[in-house]
Amino acid sequence: MTTAIAAIIIFFIVVLVHEFGHFAVAKLVGIKVHEFSIGMGPRIGKLNKGETEYSLRVLPIGGYVRMEGEDEKSDDERSFSNKSPISRILVLLAGATMNFILALIIFFIVSIVIGTPTTEIDTVMQNGPAYEAGIKNGDKIISVEGNKISDWQEFKNIFATVENTVDIKVLRDGEVKSFTLDPQIDESGNKVIGISVKTNVSVIESIKYSFTNLIFIITLMFDFIKMAITGNINKGDVAGPIGVIQLIGETTKYGFLSVLNLAAFININLGFFNLLPIPALDGSRILFILVELVRGKPLDPEKEGIIHFIGFVFLIALMLLISYNDINRLNIF
């Protein structure tokens, strides 16, 4: 039950924020909005206010903002298609932008609550790699694999690329000391050296930590795309709605802050994925508008609509395939 509630809340907030971005900017630039919907499938509730219908649908896995002239020709001066290219691009960018902003806010809240990790070691676990190498409490990590580091995220980024041993330099009583460690794999499958670091509660550091995390995760998304193009991923590396729900369930075991971090990660994933130039996604629509700017005239709305429809069918098929793999991987049945 906890998993279901957490999943519904996370999906609802992620979709709500994304669609609200489109909605708010559409209203701001004067586009007529017919419907603001959260969820997919049959409608379970609605509220009419002005020219817009606000609806709630049964499946909290999507949503949409239905604007005048978005997918069809319209003579209405307030239609999406009759607005300037820049206005349309801003509307399309707004959804992902709101997801990124929400992720930044979540990271900031988590950082303020638990503090921002520093590079000063608080505890060295007995019998761990760091303990065996001679690293001590109070040592300050200043270099990893020959790369100078100024914050904990830099350490994590470099450490993630290490395959076998790792060279670490620390500052101890004003003296630089060098160590070579053999990382271990913990119960969760993570590579560790057996240390915990001190944290620092600071608004400035929390803001910096939030942006660093956002950039780091977006970089991971680009790396994933490269791996997908080169065929270096397997079915287990991709999760659909079912897989995400299962991951949310696992995360709830570690507390509310862990769930918040996962929600931030999901927000960034949704925002990033929506900006990919895949037909039916915001990124593809932006690409068509950029082509329009180059050509000096828009593409045929009907032809563009057909392309987006084909892309939508492809995405639904892909979601079903991924969900099928999730069911097999998790042995749900």
Q: From first to last of its 333 residues, what are the pLDDT tens digits of the chain?
A: 566 677 777 878 888 899 999 999 999 999 999 999 988 788 888 888 889 999 988 877 678 899 988 777 778 889 988 899 999 999 999 999 999 999 999 999 999 988 888 889 999 998 888 888 889 999 999 999 888 988 888 888 888 887 788 899 999 988 999 988 888 887 766 788 888 888 888 898 889 889 988 998 898 888 878 877 776 666 555 555 555 556 566 666 667 778 888 889 889 988 998 898 888 788 988 988 998 888 887 777 677 777 777 777 777 776 666 666 655 655 545
Q: Are residues 129 and 92 in the same domain?
A: no
Q: Are residues 97 and 127 in the same domain?
A: no
Q: Are residues 13 and 103 in the same domain?
A: yes
Q: Which of 19, 68, 205, 304 is catalytic?
A: 19
Domain coverage including residue 101? 2-112+259-273
Q: Are residues 145 and 107 in the same domain?
A: no
Q: Are residues 50 and 18 in the same domain?
A: yes
Q: Are residues 61 and 12 in the same domain?
A: yes
Q: Are residues 106 and 123 in the same domain?
A: no
User: How many structural domains comprise the chain?
Assistant: 2
Q: Are residues 171 and 265 in the same domain?
A: no
What's residue 20's pLDDT?
A: 93
Q: What is the CATH number of the domain that holds 145?
A: 2.30.42.10
Q: Are residues 10 and 96 in the same domain?
A: yes
Q: Is 81 inside any structural domain?
A: yes
- pTM value is 0.79
Q: Is 55 inside any structural domain?
A: yes
What's residue 96's pLDDT?
A: 94
Active site residue 19: yes
Q: Using the 3D structure, point to which of 155, 181, 200 is the last residue of a domain.
A: 200
What's residue 89's pLDDT?
A: 94
What's residue 140's pLDDT?
A: 93
Q: Are residues 71 and 132 in the same domain?
A: no
Q: Using the 3D structure, point to which of 222, 251, 273 is the last residue of a domain.
A: 273
Q: Are residues 21 and 95 in the same domain?
A: yes
What's residue 250's pLDDT?
A: 64
Q: Are residues 107 and 177 in the same domain?
A: no
Q: Which amino acid is at 210?
A: S
